[in-house]
Structure 1
Amino acid sequence: MGLFTRLDRASVLYNGMADRLGVGETQRIDQPAGAAAYRSALLRCSACAEAEACAGWQMEHARADAAPGYCRNRGALAALRVE
């Protein structure tokens, strides 16, 4: 799988996970160093070996309190959640 294909899939998975955790798009982009943090999150996601599990998890969960334990962005997404 090529780099751009992996990044495209990572974008879909990361944004899907963020949506399920209640992290709005503005929170993802407007955080301190927003563009750099978003880019880092996508790169972490694109390097994950659990993409299929993540896609399946997202199909089973419309909403969640936390990302699954294997999520490489679990901590970053938790920090962005607004309660």
Structure 2
Amino acid sequence: MQSNKVVLNNEDGLHARAAALFVREANRFSCDINLEAHGDKVNGKSIIGIMSLGAFNGEEVVIYAEGPDEEEAVARLTHIIEKDFVNI
């Protein structure tokens, strides 16, 4: 299992557009992906799950991945968050 902590720096946090971008990218990987915030962990391939986290600007989230392409998935999803969901 791979994981990485990352801080949301985009103004609106995991709002609908950002969640949709995250889910679209997560679904490109075959591994299981989860996202955690505030002690709640949800399926990283579910837009409803991610939006239910209510994660906002400045908050820390943890990306977890387990499966054959877990390292690539965590690296790519971390990159998307670090780039504030822009120019990905």
TM-score relative to the length of structure 1: 0.30
Larger radius of gyration: 1
Q: Counting helix residues as a fraction of each chain, which structure ranks higher?
A: 1
TM-score relative to the length of structure 2: 0.29
